[in-house]
C-alpha cells in the first residue's frame, strides 16, 4: 500500500494499521505523533478535553510487542483513538458534557468501546460534546466551546463536534460518536470528514450518557456510529462495531448483506437535493448536484426522485418521536411534561412503521438515495438561548435553527443507514457533505456508493493548519 507524503496522523486507519503490521511505524510512534499534534493544534480547537497518556503508552508498548511476535492482530491493532465524551470509557473521565458527571470515571466500557479495544484500538482521550448531546453545536459549562478546524469562528456541529473536529484536524485515528438527530452526520458534514449512521440496532448503544445514571437502556432513534477519513475506514469500523451484545449475544448473530452490486454502473440512485420544507442554500445545492452528476457520468442510473413522503410530514413525525427520547436529558418536571403519553408514542410508532413500509417499497426500484445533510455549511457560533430559540438565514430567508435537523431526521426516524461523504466546498472554503441513504440493514450498500463518491467527487482534505 502506497503511503501519502503527509503526517501519518492524517492517513486513513487502514493505511495506519497496515504500516503498524508491516512494522513501518510503531504504535508508540503514532501515539506520540497524536499527542504532539494535540499539544500544538488542540488549544485553538478545544476538541480533545481529556487525555489518558500513561495507560495509553503502556498499551501502545504492548501492541508493539505483539506486532513483533507471531499471531493474529486485530483490524485496529495499535491505533490510538479518542471517544466522544458521551460514551462510557473505562478508567477515563466521561461526562456527557454535563457538570453533574464532571468526576465520573466509569468502571467498564460501553460495549461499542469494548469492541474497538478487542480489535486492537488504544483509547487515549475523550472529545467534547454539548450537554447531554443536546445541541447541533458543541459547547458546555465544563469544557467550553469547540471550534471548527476549517474556520475557528464557526461551529464544528454537534453533538459529536469534538469527535469530527479531531478526525478532521488529525488528532486521532478515528472516532466513535452518537447520532439521535444527526449528531454523527452533521459534524462530519461541517468538518469535511466521513461519518456513518448505522441501521438502528446493529451497533450496541449501551453506555450512552444522556442523563445521570444513563447508559443502561437504549434510546429510540439513537445509534453509535464511526467518524473517519475514508469510506473504507467506515466499512472496517462497521465490521468491528456491528454485533449483538449482552444477553442477545447468546443466540443472535448479525450478518449484514453484501452491497447490492459490485459495480457503480449497476446502481439505481435517487436524488432529493432540495425541498421547500428544508430549503437548501444555493451554494450547498450546487455542490450536491455536481456530486450526483459525477455518479451519473460514472455510469450509475441517477434519477431525480425520492420516496413519496412529504419532507414536512417526516420531520413532524421525527420531532414527535425524538422529544420523548430526549426527555430524560431534562429535569424530571420538564421531562414529564414533554415526554407525552405511552399511547401517543405508540400512535407515532405505528405511523413510523407505515412510513418505513413506503421506504421499503421505494428501495425495490432504487438502491440508494442522495440527500443533503444540512441545508447549509457550518455557521458561526451562536450560543444564545437554546436550539429552539435560535435562527439561521438561508438564501436570504430566516429559518429556525431547529430546521437544520430536517434532512437528518428524515432518515433517522425510520432507522435507515446513512453515510456522509465530503464532496466539495462553498466559496468560503467550508466543507459540504452528502448523505448516501441505504435500505434498512443494507449498510454495506450505502458504504459502497460512498466509496465510489469518494473517488469521484471529493474525499477528505486536511483543514488549514493540519
* Residue whose C-alpha cell reads 478545544 in the numeric block: 46
**CA 135 – CA 231 distance, rounded (Å):** 26
Quote the percentage of the chain above a pLDDT of 90: 95
**Distances in whole angstroms, Cα of residue 59 to Cα of each of 9, 89, 292:** 18, 15, 44
**CA 409 – CA 318 distance, rounded (Å):** 6
**Distances in whole angstroms, Cα of residue 269 to Cα of each of 128, 197, 364, 383, 440:** 36, 19, 12, 38, 16
Q: Is residue 116 within a helix (H) or strand (E), and if so which, with residue range?
A: helix 111-118
Return the domain boundaries, the chain.
8-457
Condensed to tens digits (0 to 9), the pLDDT of residues 15-38 reads: 999 999 999 999 999 999 999 999
**What would the mean pLDDT of 62-78 be, rounded to a whole number?**
92
Confidence of residue 1 (pLDDT cuts 50, 70, 90): very low
Residue-level pLDDT at 331 = 87
**CA 371 – CA 437 distance, rounded (Å):** 8
Residue-level pLDDT at 6 = 81
φ, ψ for residue 132, nearest 5 deg:
50, 30
Give ∠ CA 48-50-52 in degrees, rounded to 5.
120
Quote the percentage of the chain above a pLDDT of 70: 99
Condensed to tens digits (0 to 9), the pLDDT of residues 265-304 reads: 999 999 999 999 999 999 999 999 999 999 999 999 999 9
Mean pLDDT of all residues belonging to the chain:
96
pLDDT at 166 over 60: yes
Residue-level pLDDT at 351 = 98
With contact defined as beta carbons under 8 Å apart, do 456 and 436 qualify?
A: no
Residue-level pLDDT at 71 = 76
Nearest to 383 by CA among 149, 94, 158: 158
**CA 265 – CA 262 distance, rounded (Å):** 9
**CA 417 – CA 42 distance, rounded (Å):** 31
**CA 453 – CA 431 distance, rounded (Å):** 15
Nearest to 168 by CA among 195, 144, 143, 204: 195
Phi-psi region of 329 (alpha: psi -120 to 50; beta: other; left: phi over 0): alpha
Nearest to 137 by CA among 113, 154, 119, 115: 154
Residue-level pLDDT at 3 = 54
With contact defined as beta carbons under 8 Å apart, do 96 and 209 qualify?
A: yes
**What would the mean pLDDT of 139-154 be, rounded to a whole number?**
98
With contact defined as beta carbons under 8 Å apart, do 98 and 54 qualify?
A: no
Residue-level pLDDT at 2 = 44
**CA 32 – CA 66 distance, rounded (Å):** 18
**CA 290 – CA 269 distance, rounded (Å):** 14
Q: Is residue 355 within a helix (H) or strand (E), and if so which, with residue range?
A: helix 342-362
**What would the mean pLDDT of 176-190 be, rounded to a whole number?**
98
Nearest to 122 by CA among 191, 74, 154: 74
Q: Is residue 337 within a helix (H) or strand (E), and if so which, with residue range?
A: helix 332-339
Condensed to tens digits (0 to 9), the pLDDT of residues 407-435 reads: 999 999 999 999 999 999 999 999 999 99
pLDDT at 441 over 50: yes
Condensed to tens digits (0 to 9), the pLDDT of residues 93-111 reads: 999 999 999 999 999 999 9
Condensed to tens digits (0 to 9), the pLDDT of residues 227-272 reads: 999 999 999 999 999 999 888 999 999 999 999 999 999 999 999 9
- What sign has the CA pseudo-torsion 393, 395, 397, 399? negative
Residue-level pLDDT at 333 = 84
Q: Which CATH number applies to 8-457?
A: 3.90.1300.10
Within the chain, what is the greatest distance between any pair of CA atoms?
63
With contact defined as beta carbons under 8 Å apart, do 159 and 390 qualify?
A: no
Is the preceding omega at residue 179 within 30 degrees of 0, hence cis? no
**CA 211 – CA 336 distance, rounded (Å):** 14
**CA 176 – CA 111 distance, rounded (Å):** 12
For the beta carbon of residue 29, count every other beta carbon within 10 angstroms: 15
**What would the mean pLDDT of 339-356 be, rounded to a whole number?**
97
What is the torsion angle, in degrees rounded to the nearest 10, for the CA atoms of residue 96, residue 28, residue 150 and residue 133? -10
With contact defined as beta carbons under 8 Å apart, do 374 and 186 qualify?
A: yes
Residue-level pLDDT at 4 = 59
User: End-to-end alpha-carbon separation of the chain, Å?
Assistant: 23
DSSP line for 234-288: HHHHHHHH----GGGGGT----PPPPS-SSGGG-EEEE----GGGPPPHHHHHHH
Amino acid at each position: 500500500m502506497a503511503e501519502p507524503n503527509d503526517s501519518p496522523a492524517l492517513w486513513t486507519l487502514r493505511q495506519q494499521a497496515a504500516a503498524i503490521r508491516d512494522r513501518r511505524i510503531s504504535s508508540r510512534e503514532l501515539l506520540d505523533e497524536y499527542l504532539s499534534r494535540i499539544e500544538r493544534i488542540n488549544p485553538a480547537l478545544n476538541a480533545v478535553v481529556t487525555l489518558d497518556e500513561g495507560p495509553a503508552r503502556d498499551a501502545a508498548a504492548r501492541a508493539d510487542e505483539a506486532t513483533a511476535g507471531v499471531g493474529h492482530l486485530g483490524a485496529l491493532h495499535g491505533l490510538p483513538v479518542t471517544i466522544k465524551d458521551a460514551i462510557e470509557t473505562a478508567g477515563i473521565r466521561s461526562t456527557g458534557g454535563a457538570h453533574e458527571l464532571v468526576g465520573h470515571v466509569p468502571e467498564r466500557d460501553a460495549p461499542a468501546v469494548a469492541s474497538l479495544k478487542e480489535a486492537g484500538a488504544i483509547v487515549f482521550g475523550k472529545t467534547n460534546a454539548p450537554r447531554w448531546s443536546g445541541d447541533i453545536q458543541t459547547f458546555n459549562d465544563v469544557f467550553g466551546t469547540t471550534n471548527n478546524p476549517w474556520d475557528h469562528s464557526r461551529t464544528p456541529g454537534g453533538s459529536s463536534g469534538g469527535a469530527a473536529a479531531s478526525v478532521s484536524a488529525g488528532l486521532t485515528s478515528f472516532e466513535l460518536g452518537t447520532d439521535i438527530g444527526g449528531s454523527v452526520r452533521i459534524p462530519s458534514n461541517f468538518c469535511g470528514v466521513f461519518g456513518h449512521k448505522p441501521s438502528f440496532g446493529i451497533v450496541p448503544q449501551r453506555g450512552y450518557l444522556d442523563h445521570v445514571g444513563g447508559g443502561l437502556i437504549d434510546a429510540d432513534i439513537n445509534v453509535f456510529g464511526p467518524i473517519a477519513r475514508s469510506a473504507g475506514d467506515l466499512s472496517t469500523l462497521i465490521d468491528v462495531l456491528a454485533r449483538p451484545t449482552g444477553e442477545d449475544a447468546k443466540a443472535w448473530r448479525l450478518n449484514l448483506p453484501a452491497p447490492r452490486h459490485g459495480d457503480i454502473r449497476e446502481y439505481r440512485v435517487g436524488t432529493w437535493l432540495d425541498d421547500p420544507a428544508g430549503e437548501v442554500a444555493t451554494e450547498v445545492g450546487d455542490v450536491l448536484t455536481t456530486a450526483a452528476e459525477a455518479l451519473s457520468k460514472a455510469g450509475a442510473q441517477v434519477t431525480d426522485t425520492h420516496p413519496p413522503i412529504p419532507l414536512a410530514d417526516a420531520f413532524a413525525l421525527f420531532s414527535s418521536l425524538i422529544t420523548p427520547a430526549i426527555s430524560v436529558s431534562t429535569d424530571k418536571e420538564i421531562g414529564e411534561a414533554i415526554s407525552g403519553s405511552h399511547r401517543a408514542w405508540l400512535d407515532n410508532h405505528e405511523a413510523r412503521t407505515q412510513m418505513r413500509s413506503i421506504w421499503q417499497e421505494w428501495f425495490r426500484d432504487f438502491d440508494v438515495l442522495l440527500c443533503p445533510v444540512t441545508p447549509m455549511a457550518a455557521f458561526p457560533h451562536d450560543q444564545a438561548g437554546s436550539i429552539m430559540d435560535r435562527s439561521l438565514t438561508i438564501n436570504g430567508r430566516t429559518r429556525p435553527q431547529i430546521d437544520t435537523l430536517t434532512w437528518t431526521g428524515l432518515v433517522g426516524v425510520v432507522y435507515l443507514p446513512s453515510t456522509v461523504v465530503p464532496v466539495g466546498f462553498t466559496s468560503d472554503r467550508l466543507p459540504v457533505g452528502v448523505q448516501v441513504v441505504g435500505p434498512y440493514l443494507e449498510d454495506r450498500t450505502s458504504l459502497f456508493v460512498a466509496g465510489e463518491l469518494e473517488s469521484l467527487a471529493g474525499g477528505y482534505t486536511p483543514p488549514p493548519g493540519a
